[in-house]
C-alpha cells in the first residue's frame, strides 16, 4: 500500500503559507505594521471598555435616585448634585473615544496603503520571478493556470489583508478585554457566557466545514460550466451549421443544474451560519438576563475579581457585553471562508515565487567590437555594427572572438521528460551565411533542435558550439540576442507598430525601425494605416491580418540584426497568395545570415543549402534539394505529394 | 433592465417570497427582544415575583428560538431562490445565444460570452441574494428599531436625528467618490492582467530577444500605477470605519448623558432598563445603515454585470424563420440573383457586389480567390448564415428566406474554414451529422472522406476520445473528420470552405473522386487555395474584391482569366506543393 502523508502535515503546510504572508507583511512594512497593530489593539481595547463606564453611570444613577432631593421630589436639585459626577465619567469616556477614532482613522488609512503596496510588491515579485523561469515552465503549465495566480489568488490576499487580518486581531482583543471585564464583575456569569461561546464555536466549525465543502464543489461546478460554455461558444458556428442548438441547450441545462445544486447548498450553509450565531447570541442574552435577574432576586453570593456584589448596575453592562462578545464571534465566523480561500491562494502564489529560475552560468558576453585589417579585435563602447564574444578566462585574461554565426551541433541527445528521448545523435553543421532547413512530421523534433540552440532547453549529451564556443559558456541573454526568432505564432505586444518593431533592438532609432520595415516589405501596408507607425496594436494585433502580423514580427527580427536567424513555421498559417509577400520579406532578412528554417511547405525550404529530413528524432536524410530528389527517399515522396506530413 | 431579470425568477418566486416572509418575521422578533428584555431588567430592579421573571424568560427564549428558525429557513430559501434565479438567467442567456445568427455571433467575442455566462451571472446571483435578504432586513430593522426607540426612549431617540443624517451623508459621499475610483481601477486592473497574459503567451519572444528586464520594468511601472489608484480608492472606502465608529460613540455618550439627566432630573421619565435597550437599538440602527450602504455599493457594482448580460438578452437574432415556410428543399440547385452583401449594415464596404450565377443541381463548383476576396461570404449565404443586403439567393428554386432555417441547413451541409471537433469520441462527433447513423453509415462516410484508415489505426477506433478543440488529432485528420461529419447529413448541397488545406494532394484527389462516385447528385461547392483541388470542376468561379471576375471551366479560364492563369502557373511550374 502506498504511504500517504499524514493529514496533519498538509494542514501545517497551509498554515505555513499564512505565516509567510504575515512575515512578508512585516518585512515590507517593518515600521508601519507595528504601528497598525498598536492602533488596532488600543482602539479595540477602548471600544470594549464602555461596559465599565456604563456600570459606573448606572451605579451613579441608582445612587442619586435614592438621594434625599430625588425622594423629596426636587428633581432639578437632584440632577444638579449628580451632574458633576456623571459628566466626569462621560468626559473621560468622550476623551477615550476621540483617541480611539484617531487611532481607527490612522490604522484604516495605513492598512489601505499597506494592502495595496503589499499586493503590488508581491505582484512585482511574482512577475519578476516569472520572467526568470525557464521556457519549460511555460510549456508545462497552462496559460490559464498561470494567469489565475495574478487574478484569483492575489484577490484572495486582498480580502485577507485588508479585512480578515485586522478583524481577527480586533475581535481577539475585544473578546479578551471583554472577558477580563466580565471576570472583574462576575465569574459565574462569565462561565455562562463562555459556555455559550464554546457552543458557538462548535456550531461554526460544523457549519463552516459543510459550507467549505460545498463551496469547493461549487467552484468545481463553475469551472465545469465555464469549460462547457467555452467550448460551445467557440463552436457556435458549427452548432448552427448542424442545427444542433436544442441538443447543446439540453446538455448545458444539465451542467447548469449541477451548478445550481452545489451553489444552493453552499450558500444555504453560509447563510445559515450568521443567523444561527446571532440567535445563539440572543438566547445567551436572554439567559444572561434571566440568570442575572435570579442572582439579584435571590441575592446569591457573587464571585468576582472586583469583589462587588451582583446588582443591576452590573447586569446591564453585562447584557451589552454579551452582545459584543457574540457579535465579534459572528464577525470572525464570517471571515472563515475568506481565510480558507486565502490559505489556498497564498500557497499557490508562493509556489510560483519559489519556482527555480533558469540557471545561467555563462561568462562569455557579446560586445561591440572594432576589427582591424589584421583581424585584431578590440572592444568598443559604442555601436560599431560589428560584434564579438568577450571571453574571460580563469587566469584573468580576456580573449575576443568575432561573432560570425557559425553553429555546430555534434551528436546531440535530448529528452523533455526523462526516459522519453526525442532527439538521437543529431549533428548539424551550419557555416556562416548558410541556410539549413528541417523537414519532418509534427513531433519529429524540428522545433526541439532550435529550442536547444537558444538554450530554451539544455542538451543531455553531445555538444553545441557557436563560433567555436560551447554555448553553455555564453551568457543566455547574449546568446539569444545573437539569434533572431520568427515563430509561427506571431506574438505582438500592446503598443504602437513602432514600439513593436523596436522590440528587436531597444536602441534602434525611428529611422532604423522604418528601414527594417522597408527591407522586409512591411512599410507599404504600415504607411497605409490611418496612424502609420503610430497605429496601436491591441489584443495581440487582432486588428491586423495574419500576414501583416507576420511581416511585423519579421521586421522586429530584422531590426535586431542578428547573425543567426531561426524561422519556425513562419509562413504556415498564411494563405499562399499572402505567403509570397511574406516570403519576399523573409528572403531579404535571410540574406547573408546563418538561417535555420522549419517549414511545412517545401517551397519555403527548397533553396536551402542543406535540408535535413527528420523522423522520430533522427536525421534520416540530408543534402540539398537536387541531391534529395535524386535519392528518391522520403523527401522525394513529400515533394511529389505521395506522402503526407501530419 | 430590472424587469428583464425579474422575468427570470419564474419558479423561484416561491422561495423568494418565503425568504421575504421569514426575514420579516425574524426582524420583528429580533426587534421586540430588547423591548421585552428591558421590561425584565426593570422588573428585576423593582423586585417582581419569581414566576413573572421565569415566564418572561421563557417567552424570550421561545422568541430567540423562533428567530433562529426563521433566520435558518430564510438562509436556505434565499440560497435556493438566488441559485435558481441564476440558473434561469444562465439558461436564458445560453438559449438566446443559440438563437443568434452569425451576424450576432460576430458581434460578441467568445471570451466575453463566457464571462457573461459565468462571472457576471455569479455576481448577479450574489446581488439577488443580498437584495432579498439584507435589502429587506436592513430597512425593516431600521424602521422597527427607530419606532421602538421612540416608544421606549422618547427624547433619547433624539440622538438619531443627528446621527442618522450624518452617517447617511458620510456614506453617500464615500460611495460617490469611491465608486468611480474603483471602476477606474478595475479597468486598469483588467488591462494589467491582459498584459500579463500577453507576456505569458509571448514568453518565447521575450526570452528569444532577451527582453526579461525590459518586460519587468514595463510591468513594474504598470503595477505602481495601479497601486496608486487602488490605494486612493481604498483609502476613501476606509473612511467609513471611523465615521461609523464616530456615530456609535456619539450615540453612546448622548444616551448616557441625556439618559441620566432624564432619569434623575424628572419624575416619570425612562428607567435604567430602557437606557440599556436604547444602547442596543442605537447599535442596531447604525449597523443596518452600514448594511444599506454596503448593498448600495454592491448593487451598483453588479449593475455593470447586469448591463452586460442584458446586452445579450436584448440582442435581436437577425436571421428569422418565415411565417409560412416551404417544407422541403427540392434539389441542390443554387442561384444568385444580383446579390450584394456586407457583414454589417453599418460597414462601408461591401463584401460581395452584384453576384449573379446559376449552379445546376449535382454540379461540382470550385471557388478561387485571395484572402478577403469574399469566398467565405459567398458560400455563407447559401445556408443563410447571413442575409443578403440586396438581391436574392435561391436554393432548390426558392428564396432561402422562404425555408425554415432548420430545414434549409439540414439540406445544405457546410464544412467551415475554422472548423472544430467537440470533446467526445470520434463516433459522437460524427453523429452530429446524423444522430441515428448506424456504425456502418459512419464507416461509409469516413471512407468517402478518406478518414477510415487513420481512425482504424487508433487503438480505440471510432471510440477514440477527441480532446477539446480536437488537439489530439492532426490538422489533416481533423479536416477529414469534419468532412465525414458533414457527409453524414446526406445533404443536397455540400460546401467545403478550404477544408482540405492540410490534407496532402493525393488524398485530396481521392476525396474528390469518391464524391464523384458516391454522391453524384449532391451539389458540391469547394473553396480552395490549390488550383489542383478545383481544376476538374464543372464550374470554377474566380472572385476578386467581392466580385466575380471569371467563371467557367479550367480550359476556358486558363485562356481568358489572368488571375487564374497566374495562380495556375505559379502553383504548378514553381513546384508549389504542400508537404
Q: Which of B427, B280, B266, B395 is nearest to B328 (CA)?
A: B395
Alpha-carbon distances, residue A624 vs A435, A632, B432 (angstroms): 10, 13, 47
Query: Is B531 found in the same domain as B409?
Result: yes
Query: Is B400 found in the same domain as B304?
Result: no
Query: Is A524 found in the same domain as A418?
Result: yes
Report the length, in residues, of chain A.
646
Q: Say which CATH number the domain at A118 has.
A: 1.20.1560.10
Contacts 24+ apart (CB under 8 A), B545-552: B545/B372, B545/B373, B545/B374, B546/B349, B546/B350, B546/B351, B546/B352, B546/B353, B546/B373, B546/B374, B546/B377, B547/B352, B547/B353, B547/B354, B547/B355, B547/B374, B548/B355, B548/B356, B548/B357, B551/B357
Residue A599 pLDDT: 78
pLDDT confidence of B53, banded at 50, 70, 90?
confident
User: Any idea which residue has 503595477 for its cell?
Assistant: B223
Query: Is B118 found in the same domain as B149?
Result: yes
Q: Is B96 helix (H, G, I), strand (E, B) or coil?
A: helix
Percent of chain B with pLDDT over 70: 96
Query: Is B566 found in the same domain as B422?
Result: yes
pLDDT in tens, A340-356: 778 878 888 898 899 89
Query: Is A598 found in the same domain as A456?
Result: yes
pLDDT in tens, B26-49: 888 887 877 787 777 777 767 677
Q: Which of A222, A295, A296, A232 is nearest to A259 (CA)?
A: A222
Q: Which of B398, B416, B352 is nearest to B548 (CA)?
A: B352
Query: How close does chain A come to B216, measured CA to CA in Å?
Result: 6
Q: Domain containing B25: what range?
A: 2-178+239-314
Query: Is B455 found in the same domain as B363?
Result: yes
Query: Is A487 found in the same domain as A385?
Result: no
Helix pair angle (B158-201, B272-314), 10° resolution = 40
Q: Is the pLDDT of residue B189 over 60?
A: yes
Q: Which residue has the higher pLDDT, A530 or B216?
A: B216
Which range has the worst mean pLDDT, A61-65, A99-103, A429-433, B88-92? A61-65
The last residue of a domain, from among B314, B342, B363? B314
- Mean per-residue pLDDT over chain B, rounded: 85
Query: Is B297 found in the same domain as B353?
Result: no
Q: Is B462 helix (H, G, I), strand (E, B) or coil?
A: helix
Q: Is the pLDDT of residue A465 over 50?
A: yes
User: Quick check: B139 and B204 in contact, CB under 8 A?
Assistant: no
Q: Is the pLDDT of residue B88 over 90?
A: yes
Query: Is B453 found in the same domain as B391?
Result: yes
Q: Is residue A212 a part of any domain in this protein?
A: yes
Please count the other Cβ atoms lying within 10 Å of the Cβ belonging to residue A76.
Answer: 11
Q: Is residue A565 a part of any domain in this protein?
A: yes
pLDDT confidence of A11, banded at 50, 70, 90?
very low
pLDDT confidence of A10, banded at 50, 70, 90?
very low
Q: Is A636 helix (H, G, I), strand (E, B) or coil?
A: helix
Please count the other Cβ atoms lying within 10 Å of the Cβ belonging to residue A463.
Answer: 14
Q: Domain containing A254: what range?
A: 187-301
Residue A644 pLDDT: 55
Nine-digit cell at B26? 425574524
Q: Which pTM value belongs to this model?
A: 0.76
Query: Is B79 found in the same domain as B150?
Result: yes
Q: Is residue B34 a part of any domain in this protein?
A: yes
User: Quick check: B382 and B365 in contact, CB under 8 A?
Assistant: no
pLDDT confidence of A600, banded at 50, 70, 90?
low
Query: How close does chain B come to A608, measured CA to CA in Å?
Result: 15
Mean pLDDT of B314-343: 89
Kindly give, in sequence order, each residue whose CB lies less than 8 Å from that of residue A305, ignoring residues fewer than 6 positions away.
Answer: A183, A184, A185, A187
Q: Is residue B69 a part of any domain in this protein?
A: yes
pLDDT in tens, B528-573: 877 888 888 999 999 988 899 999 999 999 889 888 888 887 776 5
The last residue of a domain, from among B314, B342, B374? B314
Q: Which residue has the higher pLDDT, B77 or B419?
A: B77
The last residue of a domain, from among B247, B279, B314? B314
Residue A320 pLDDT: 76
Query: Is A230 found in the same domain as A160?
Result: no
Q: Which of A116, A312, A560 sits opposite B44 (nearest CB)?
A: A312
Q: Is residue B201 a part of any domain in this protein?
A: no
Query: Is A462 found in the same domain as A556?
Result: yes
Q: Which residue has the higher pLDDT, B402 or A583?
A: B402
What is the 8-class DSSP label of residue B319?
S
Q: Is residue B168 a part of any domain in this protein?
A: yes
Q: Is residue A282 a part of any domain in this protein?
A: yes
Residue B45 pLDDT: 67
Q: Is residue A317 a part of any domain in this protein?
A: no
φ, ψ (nearest 5 deg) of residue A82: -75, -35
Nine-digit cell at A69? 432631593
Q: Which of B38, B265, B288, B60 is nearest to B151 (CA)?
A: B38
Residue B329 pLDDT: 87
What is the 8-class DSSP label of residue B10?
G
Beta bridge partner(s), residue A566:
A485, A596
Contact B489 A242 (CB under 8 A): yes
Q: Does A376 touch chain B (CB under 8 A)?
A: no
Domains: count for chain A: 4
Q: Is residue A220 a part of any domain in this protein?
A: yes
Q: Is residue A4 a part of any domain in this protein?
A: no
Query: Is B285 found in the same domain as B414?
Result: no
Query: Is A75 found in the same domain as A21?
Result: yes
Q: Is residue B233 a part of any domain in this protein?
A: no
Residue A261 pLDDT: 93
Given the DSSP bridges, would you call strands A387-392 and A365-371 parallel, antiparallel or unpaired?
Answer: antiparallel
Q: Say which CATH number the domain at A565 has.
A: 3.40.50.300
What is the 8-class DSSP label of residue A310?
P
Which range has the worst mean pLDDT, A324-338, A583-597, B429-443? A324-338
Query: Is A617 found in the same domain as A519?
Result: yes
Residue B412 pLDDT: 92
- Residues within 8 A of B (CB atoms), A 569-608 only: 575-578, 580, 599-603, 606
Which range has the worst mean pLDDT, A494-508, B428-442, B461-475, B530-544? B461-475
Beta bridge partner(s), residue B461:
none
- Residues within 8 A of B (CB atoms), A 93-152 only: 93-94, 97, 100-101, 104-105, 108-109, 111-113, 115-117, 119-120, 123-124, 127-128, 130-132, 135, 138, 143, 146-147, 150-151
The last residue of a domain, from among A287, A321, A355? A355
User: Quick check: B289 and B142 in contact, CB under 8 A?
Assistant: yes
Q: Is residue B412 a part of any domain in this protein?
A: yes
Query: Is B299 found in the same domain as B248?
Result: yes
Kindly give, in sequence order, each residue whose CB lies less than 8 Å from that of residue A516, ignoring residues fewer than 6 positions away.
Answer: A501, A504, A508, A555, A556, A558, A559
Dihedral sign (CA B551, B556, B558, B559): negative
Q: Is the pLDDT of residue B394 over 60?
A: yes
Query: Is B135 found in the same domain as B59?
Result: yes
In whole angstroms, give the CA distance from residue B402 to residue B160.
70
Beta bridge partner(s), residue B525:
B365, B495
Query: Is B364 found in the same domain as B292?
Result: no
Residue B493 pLDDT: 94
The separation between the first and the last C-alpha atoms of chain A, rounded to the nearest angstrom, is 43
Query: How close does chain B come to A2, measured CA to CA in Å?
Result: 30
What is the 8-class DSSP label of residue A305?
S
Q: Say which CATH number the domain at B253 has.
A: 1.20.1560.10
Residue A5 pLDDT: 37
Q: Does A57 touch chain B (CB under 8 A)?
A: yes
Alpha helices, DSSP H, located in B157-211: 158-201, 203-208
Percent of chain B with pLDDT over 90: 29
CA dihedral A373, A379, A380, A384 (to 10 degrees): 50
Contact A603 B575 (CB under 8 A): yes
User: Among B22, B90, B137, B208, which would you mutate to test the A interface (most chain A Cβ atoms within 10 Å of its Cβ)?
Assistant: B208
Size of interface A-B (CB pairs under 8 A): 438
In whole angstroms, give the CA distance from residue A38 to residue A333.
24
Dihedral sign (CA B562, B563, B568, B574): positive
Residue B376 pLDDT: 87
Q: Is residue A326 a part of any domain in this protein?
A: no
In whole angstroms, give the CA distance from residue A262 to residue A291.
43
- Closest chain A residue to B416 measured between Cα atoms? A238
- Mean per-residue pLDDT over chain A, rounded: 84
Q: Which residue has the higher pLDDT, A124 or A520?
A: A124
The answer to whether the complex's ipTM is over 0.85 is: no
Q: Is the pLDDT of residue B348 over 80?
A: no
Please count the other Cβ atoms lying within 10 Å of the Cβ belonging to residue A437.
Answer: 24
Query: Is A417 found in the same domain as A507?
Result: yes
Domains: count for chain B: 2
Mean pLDDT of B434-451: 92
Helix (H) or strand (E) holding B279: helix B272-314
φ, ψ (nearest 5 deg) of residue A358: -60, 130
Query: Is A434 found in the same domain as A349?
Result: no
pLDDT confidence of A252, banded at 50, 70, 90?
very high
pLDDT confidence of A578, banded at 50, 70, 90?
low
Q: Is the pLDDT of residue B439 over 70?
A: yes
Query: How close does chain B come to A134, measured CA to CA in Å?
Result: 9
Nine-digit cell at A370? 572594432
Query: Is A191 found in the same domain as A115?
Result: no
Q: Is the pLDDT of residue B185 over 90?
A: no
- Residues within 8 A of B (CB atoms), A 276-315 only: 276, 278-280, 282-283, 285-287, 289-290, 292-294, 296-297, 312, 315
Alpha helices, DSSP H, located in B47-157: 50-99, 102-107, 110-115, 121-153
Mean pLDDT of A235-264: 90
Mean pLDDT of B75-101: 92
Q: Is residue A360 a part of any domain in this protein?
A: no
Residue A29 pLDDT: 94
Q: Is the pLDDT of residue A12 over 50?
A: no
Percent of chain A with pLDDT over 90: 20
List CB contacts (< 8 A) between A580 and chain B: 570
Residue B486 pLDDT: 93
Q: Which residue has the higher pLDDT, A246 or B115?
A: A246
User: Quick check: A127 and A66 in contact, CB under 8 A?
Assistant: no
Q: Is residue B329 a part of any domain in this protein?
A: no
Query: Is A290 found in the same domain as A173?
Result: no
Query: Is A507 found in the same domain as A468?
Result: yes
Amino acid at each position: 500500500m502506498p504511504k500517504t502523508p499524514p493529514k496533519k502535515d498538509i494542514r501545517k503546510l497551509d498554515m505555513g503559507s499564512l505565516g509567510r504572508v504575515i512575515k512578508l507583511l512585516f518585512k515590507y512594512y517593518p515600521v508601519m505594521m507595528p504601528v497598525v497593530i498598536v492602533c488596532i489593539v488600543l482602539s479595540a481595547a477602548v471600544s470594549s471598555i464602555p461596559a465599565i463606564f456604563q456600570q459606573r453611570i448606572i451605579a451613579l444613577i441608582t445612587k442619586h435616585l435614592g438621594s434625599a432631593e430625588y425622594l423629596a421630589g426636587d428633581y432639578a436639585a437632584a440632577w444638579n448634585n449628580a451632574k458633576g459626577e456623571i459628566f466626569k465619567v462621560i468626559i473621560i469616556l468622550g476623551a477615550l473615544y476621540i483617541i480611539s477614532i484617531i487611532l481607527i482613522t490612522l490604522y484604516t488609512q495605513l492598512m489601505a496603503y499597506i494592502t495595496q503596496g503589499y499586493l503590488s510588491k508581491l505582484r512585482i515579485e511574482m512577475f519578476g520571478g516569472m520572467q526568470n523561469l525557464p521556457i519549460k515552465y511555460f510549456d508545462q503549465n497552462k496559460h490559464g493556470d498561470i494567469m489565475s495566480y495574478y487574478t484569483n489568488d492575489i484577490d484572495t490576499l486582498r480580502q485577507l489583508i485588508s479585512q480578515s487580518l485586522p478583524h481577527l486581531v480586533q475581535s481577539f482583543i475585544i473578546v479578551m478585554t471583554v472577558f477580563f471585564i466580565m471576570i472583574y464583575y462576575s465569574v459565574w456569569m462569565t462561565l455562562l457566557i463562555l459556555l455559550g461561546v464554546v457552543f458557538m464555536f462548535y456550531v461554526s466549525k460544523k457549519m463552516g466545514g459543510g459550507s467549505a465543502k460545498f463551496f469547493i464543489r461549487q467552484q468545481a461546478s463553475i469551472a465545469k460550466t465555464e469549460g462547457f460554455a467555452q467550448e460551445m461558444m467557440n463552436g457556435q458556428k458549427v452548432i448552427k451549421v448542424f442545427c444542433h442548438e436544442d441538443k447543446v441547450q439540453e446538455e448545458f441545462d444539465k451542467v447548469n443544474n449541477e451548478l445550481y445544486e452545489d451553489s444552493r447548498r453552499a450558500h444555504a450553509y453560509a447563510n445559515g451560519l450568521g443567523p444561527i450565531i446571532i440567535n445563539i447570541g440572543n438566547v445567551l442574552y436572554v439567559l444572561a438576563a434571566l440568570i442575572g435577574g435570579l442572582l439579584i432576586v435571590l441575592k446569591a453570593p457573587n464571585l468576582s475579581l472586583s469583589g462587588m456584589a451582583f446588582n443591576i448596575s452590573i447586569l446591564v453592562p453585562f447584557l451589552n457585553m454579551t452582545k459584543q462578545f457574540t457579535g465579534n464571534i459572528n464577525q470572525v465566523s464570517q471571515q472563515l471562508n475568506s481565510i480558507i480561500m486565502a490559505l489556498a491562494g497564498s500557497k499557490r502564489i508562493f509556489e510560483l515565487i519559489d519556482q527555480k529560475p533558469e540557471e545561467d552560468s555563462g561568462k562569455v558576453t557579446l560586445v561591440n567590437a572594432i576589427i582591424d585589417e589584421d583581424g585584431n579585435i578590440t572592444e568598443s563602447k559604442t555601436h560599431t555594427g560589428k560584434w564579438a564574444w568577450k571571453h574571460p578566462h580563469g587566469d584573468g585574461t580576456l580573449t575576443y572572438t568575432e561573432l560570425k554565426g557559425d553553429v555546430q551541433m555534434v551528436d546531440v541527445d535530448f529528452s523533455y521528460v526523462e526516459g522519453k528521448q526525442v532527439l538521437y545523435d543529431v549533428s548539424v553543421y551550419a557555416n556562416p551565411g548558410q541556410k539549413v532547413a528541417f523537414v519532418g512530421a509534427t513531433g519529429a523534433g524540428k522545433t526541439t533542435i532550435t529550442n536547444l540552440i537558444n538554450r530554451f532547453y539544455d542538451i543531455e549529451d553531445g555538444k553545441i558550439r557557436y563560433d567555436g564556443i560551447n554555448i553553455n559558456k555564453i551568457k543566455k541573454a547574449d546568446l539569444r540576442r545573437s539569434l533572431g526568432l520568427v515563430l509561427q505564432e506571431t506574438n505582438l505586444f500592446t503598443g504602437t507598430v513602432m514600439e513593436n518593431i523596436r522590440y528587436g533592438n531597444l536602441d534602434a532609432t525611428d529611422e532604423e525601425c522604418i528601414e527594417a520595415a522597408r527591407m522586409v516589405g512591411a512599410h507599404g501596408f504600415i504607411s497605409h494605416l490611418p496612424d502609420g507607425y503610430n497605429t496601436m496594436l491591441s489584443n495581440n494585433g487582432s486588428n491586423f491580418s495574419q500576414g501583416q502580423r507576420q511581416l511585423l514580427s519579421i521586421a522586429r527580427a530584422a531590426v535586431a540584426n542578428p547573425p543567426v536567424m531561426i524561422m519556425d513555421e513562419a509562413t504556415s498559417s498564411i494563405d499562399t497568395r499572402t505567403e509570397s509577400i511574406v516570403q519576399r520579406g523573409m528572403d531579404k532578412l535571410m540574406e547573408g545570415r546563418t538561417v535555420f528554417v522549419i517549414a511545412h511547405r517545401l517551397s519555403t525550404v527548397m533553396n536551402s543549402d542543406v535540408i535535413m529530413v527528420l523522423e522520430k528524432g533522427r536525421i534520416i536524410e540530408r543534402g540539398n534539394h537536387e541531391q534529395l530528389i535524386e535519392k528518391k527517399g522520403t523527401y522525394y515522396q513529400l515533394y511529389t505529394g505521395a506522402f503526407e506530413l501530419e | 433592465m430590472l424587469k428583464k431579470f425579474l422575468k427570470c425568477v419564474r419558479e423561484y418566486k416561491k422561495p423568494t417570497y418565503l425568504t421575504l416572509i421569514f426575514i420579516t418575521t425574524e426582524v420583528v422578533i429580533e426587534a421586540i427582544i430588547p423591548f421585552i428584555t428591558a421590561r425584565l431588567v426593570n422588573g428585576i430592579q423593582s423586585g417582581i415575583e419569581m414566576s413573572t421573571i421565569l415566564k418572561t424568560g421563557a417567552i424570550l427564549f421561545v422568541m430567540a428560538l423562533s428567530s433562529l428558525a426563521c433566520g435558518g429557513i430564510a438562509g436556505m430559501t434565499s440560497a435556493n431562490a438566488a441559485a435558481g434565479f441564476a440558473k434561469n438567467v444562465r439558461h436564458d442567456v445560453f438559449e438566446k445565444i443559440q438563437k443568434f445568427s452569425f451576424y450576432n455571433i460576430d458581434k460578441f467575442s467568445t471570451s466575453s460570452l463566457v464571462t457573461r455566462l459565468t462571472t457576471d451571472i455569479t455576481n448577479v446571483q450574489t446581488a439577488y441574494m443580498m437584495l432579498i435578504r439584507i435589502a429587506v432586513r436592513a430597512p425593516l430593522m431600521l424602521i422597527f428599531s427607530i419606532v421602538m426607540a421612540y416608544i421606549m426612549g422618547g427624547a433619547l431617540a433624539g440622538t438619531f436625528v443627528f446621527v442618522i443624517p450624518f452617517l447617511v451623508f458620510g456614506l453617500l459621499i464615500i460611495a460617490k467618490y469611491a465608486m468611480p475610483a474603483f471602476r477606474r481601477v478595475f479597468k486598469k486592473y483588467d488591462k494589467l492582467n491582459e498584459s500579463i497574459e500577453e507576456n505569458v503567451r509571448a514568453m518565447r519572444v521575450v526570452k528569444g530577444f532577451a527582453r526579461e528586464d525590459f518586460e519587468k520594468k514595463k510591468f513594474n511601472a504598470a503595477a505602481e500605477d495601479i497601486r496608486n489608484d487602488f490605494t486612493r480608492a481604498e483609502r476613501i472606502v476606509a473612511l467609513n470605519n471611523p465615521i461609523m465608529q464616530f456615530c456609535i460613540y456619539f450615540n453612546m455618550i448622548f444616551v448616557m448623558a441625556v439618559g441620566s439627566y432624564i432619569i434623575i432630573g424628572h419624575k416619570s421619565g425612562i428607567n435604567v432598563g430602557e437606557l440599556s435597550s436604547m444602547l442596543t437599538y442605537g447599535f442596531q440602527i447604525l449597523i443596518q445603515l452600514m448594511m444599506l450602504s454596503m448593498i448600495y455599493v454592491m448593487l451598483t457594482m453588479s449593475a455593470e454585470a447586469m448591463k452586460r448580460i442584458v446586452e445579450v438578452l436584448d440582442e435581436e437574432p437577425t436571421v428569422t424563420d418565415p411565417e409560412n415556410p416551404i417544407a422541403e428543399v427540392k434539389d441542390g440547385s443554387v442561384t444568385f440573383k444580383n446579390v450584394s452583401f456586407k457583414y454589417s449594415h453599418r460597414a462601408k464596404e461591401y463584401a460581395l457586389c452584384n453576384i449573379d450565377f446559376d449552379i445546376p443541381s449535382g454540379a461540382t463548383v470550385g471557388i478561387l480567390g485571395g484572402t478577403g476576396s469574399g469566398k467565405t461570404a459567398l458560400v455563407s449565404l447559401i445556408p443563410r448564415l447571413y442575409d443578403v443586403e440586396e438581391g436574392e439567393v435561391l436554393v432548390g428554386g426558392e428564396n432561402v428566406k422562404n425555408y425554415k432555417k432548420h430545414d434549409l441547413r439540414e439540406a445544405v451541409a457546410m464544412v467551415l474554414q475554422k472548423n472544430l471537433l467537440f470533446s467526445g469520441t470520434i463516433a459522437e462527433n460524427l453523429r452530429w451529422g446524423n444522430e441515428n447513423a448506424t456504425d456502418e453509415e459512419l464507416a461509409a462516410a469516413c471512407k468517402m472522406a478518406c478518414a477510415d484508415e487513420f481512425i482504424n489505426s487508433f487503438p480505440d477506433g471510432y471510440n477514440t476520445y477527441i480532446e477539446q478543440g480536437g488537439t489530439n488529432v492532426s490538422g489533416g485528420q481533423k479536416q477529414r473528420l469534419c468532412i465525414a461529419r458533414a457527409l453524414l447529413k446526406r445533404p443536397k448541397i455540400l460546401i467545403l470552405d478550404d477544408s482540405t488545406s492540410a490534407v496532402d494532394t493525393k488524398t485530396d484527389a481521392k476525396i474528390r473522386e469518391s464524391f464523384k462516385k458516391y454522391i453524384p447528385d449532391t451539389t458540391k461547392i469547394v473553396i480552395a487555395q490549390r488550383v489542383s483541388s478545383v481544376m476538374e470542376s464543372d464550374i470554377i468561379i474566380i472572385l476578386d474584391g467581392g466580385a466575380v471576375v471569371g467563371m467557367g471551366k479550367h480550359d476556358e479560364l486558363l485562356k481568358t482569366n489572368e488571375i487564374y492563369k497566374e495562380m495556375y502557373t505559379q502553383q504548378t511550374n514553381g513546384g508549389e506543393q504542400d508537404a
